[in-house]
């Protein structure tokens, strides 16, 4: 039923400009979720029931199952209640910057249907941290853990980037359950340089200092901070990054963001610049997860993201070392029902392999 429902709407969406369709879905989910009874309806259609074998306790949060929403879909936290009712176990909103910015010139989002992929060069288009804070303040409580993905403004030079990340954290501290430092988008000039060398160590130290400052001011314990990394790092670069992230005391890593590589694409849009997501990223993101888990002896919690379309894709990332996983492009090509499909498939794979909890499968490839 779920797949048939989306198959009916999908041709209509795919006739639209990709960015227009994107806004229609997010704004529609936001508006619909404010109508009494609609969140319960969404949950009835796409919700995933409680399954003790799929539950994950991590980062001080309880996740009903491992499958959440990656950043980039709900950039301005407009549809938190809607997406939180559609089966996802957590949401990552943003990337948000201190000041609102328009992003790069349009067109900047491209579908590659035969490759089950997207290319985007959005450029952190968002309304800014104050607008997101105001929206989340009105929302109040949310059903699932909320991760806020923070970045720097395009006009901010790298040597001043830490101030932008600190500003986002200060404005949004009250509203996120965890925070994600985005230093891996290919669409903001020089941003990826922050993944390496002293810049990485210094940035993480600054963000952690701001987190401790905000926690003290609010009488809380510091909230978890994760770092989102690119898939286009070699093993030497990954090793250094892993060492720096572990040494910093950061809570975890999201692997991975979009790629600038163009592996085996067939659609003419392959020539567009920007970050590639979807099926072509499946294998590479899993390889990065496997490397990070090995390099850190499983001590650094990993959220797997990139090309997850099926339960096997998710399970491969979990066995490689991911404790949680995220979807985005699969929602575009398969619809919201993919979340329940993956969750049900994970339960089947646990039973097949003799596990009683999903946490037992994390890093299984290394044992």
For the four alpha carbons of 57, 61, 64 and 66, in that order, the dihedral sign comes to negative
Using 50, 70 and 90 to split pLDDT, how confident is the model at 5? low
Residue 283 has pLDDT above 80, yes or no: yes
Average the pLDDT over each of 88-97, 141-150, 175-184, 195-204 and give the range with the smallest value: 195-204
Q: Is the dihedral of CA 146, 173, 306, 330 positive or negative?
A: positive
CATH code assigned at 351 = 3.20.20.70
The string of pLDDT tens digits covering residues 172-194 is 999 999 999 998 887 787 878 77
Q: To the nearest whole percent, how much of the chain has pLDDT over 70?
A: 99
Q: Give the active site residues.
A: 185
pTM of the model: 0.95
248-261: pLDDT as tens digits? 999 999 999 999 99
DSSP 223: P
Quote the number of domains for the chain: 1
Q: What average pLDDT does the structure give for the chain?
A: 94
Which residues sit opposite 178 in a β-bridge? 147
The first and second tokens of residue 162, run together, are: 């830490």
Evaluate the CA torsion angle 263, 265, 268, 272 in order and state its sign. Answer: negative
Tokens 């039973």 — which residue?
351
Q: Please report how many Cα atoms fall inside a 13 Å half-sphere around the Cα of residue 22, on the Cβ side.
A: 18
pLDDT tens track for 150-166: 999 999 998 999 999 99
> Mean pLDDT over residues 65-94, rounded?
96
Measured CA to CA, the distance from residue 175 to residue 149 in angstroms comes to 12
pLDDT digits (tens, 9 = 90+) for 15-62: 999 999 999 989 988 998 889 988 888 888 888 988 999 999 999 999
Domain containing residue 187: 2-366
**Tens digits of per-residue pLDDT, 102-133?**
999 999 999 999 999 999 999 999 999 999 99
**Calculated CA dihedral for residues 170, 172, 174, 176, nearest 10 degrees:** -130
Burial state string for 344-363 with b = 16 or more CB within 10 A and e = fewer than 16:
ebbbebbeeeebeebbebbb
**pLDDT, tens digit (0-9, with 9 covering 90-100), for 205-219:** 999 999 999 999 999
Helices (H), 303-336: 311-320, 329-334
Q: Given a cut of 50, is residue 335 above it in pLDDT?
A: yes
What residues does 321 pair with on adjacent strands? none
């Amino acid at each position: 039923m779920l797949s048939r429902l989306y198959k009916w709407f999908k041709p209509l969406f795919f006739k639209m400009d990709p960015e227009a369709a994107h806004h229609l879905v997010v704004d529609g989910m936001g508006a619909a979720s404010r109508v009494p009874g609609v969140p319960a309806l969404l949950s009835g259609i796409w919700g995933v029931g409680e399954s003790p074998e799929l539950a994950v306790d991590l980062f001080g949060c309880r996740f009903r199952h491992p499958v959440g929403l990656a950043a980039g879909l709900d950039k301005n936290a407009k549809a938190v209640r809607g997406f939180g009712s559609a089966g996802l176990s957590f949401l990552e909103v943003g990337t948000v910057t201190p000041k609102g910015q328009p992003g790069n010139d349009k067109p900047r989002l491209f579908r590659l249907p035969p490759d089950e992929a997207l290319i985007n060069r959005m450029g952190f288009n968002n309304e800014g941290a104050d607008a997101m804070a105001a929206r989340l303040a009105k929302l109040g409580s949310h059903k699932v853990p909320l991760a806020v993905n923070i970045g720097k403004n395009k006009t901010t030079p790298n040597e001043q980037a830490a101030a932008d990340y600190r500003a986002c954290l200060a404005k949004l501290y009250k509203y996120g359950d965890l925070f994600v430092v985005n230093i891996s988008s290919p669409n903001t000039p020089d941003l990826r340089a922050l993944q390496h060398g002293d810049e990485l160590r210094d940035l993480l130290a600054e963000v952690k200092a701001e987190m401790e400052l905000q926690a003290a001011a609010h009488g809380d314990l510091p909230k978890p901070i994760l770092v989102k990394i690119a898939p286009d790092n070699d093993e030497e670069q990954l090793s250094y990054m892993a060492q720096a992230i572990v040494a910093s005391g950061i809570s975890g890593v999201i692997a991975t963001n979009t790629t600038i590589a163009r592996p085996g694409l067939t659609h003419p849009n392959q020539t567009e610049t920007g970050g590639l997501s979807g099926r072509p990223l499946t294998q590479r993101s899993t390889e990065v997860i496997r490397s990070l888990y090995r390099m850190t002896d499983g001590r650094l919690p990993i959220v797997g993201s990139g090309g997850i379309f099926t339960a096997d894709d998710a399970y491969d990332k979990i066995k490689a070392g991911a404790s949680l996983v995220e979807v985005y492009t699969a929602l575009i090509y398969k619809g919201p029902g993919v979340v329940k499909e993956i969750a049900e498939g994970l339960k089947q794979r646990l039973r097949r392999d003799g596990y009683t909890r999903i946490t037992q499968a994390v890093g299984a490839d290394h044992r």
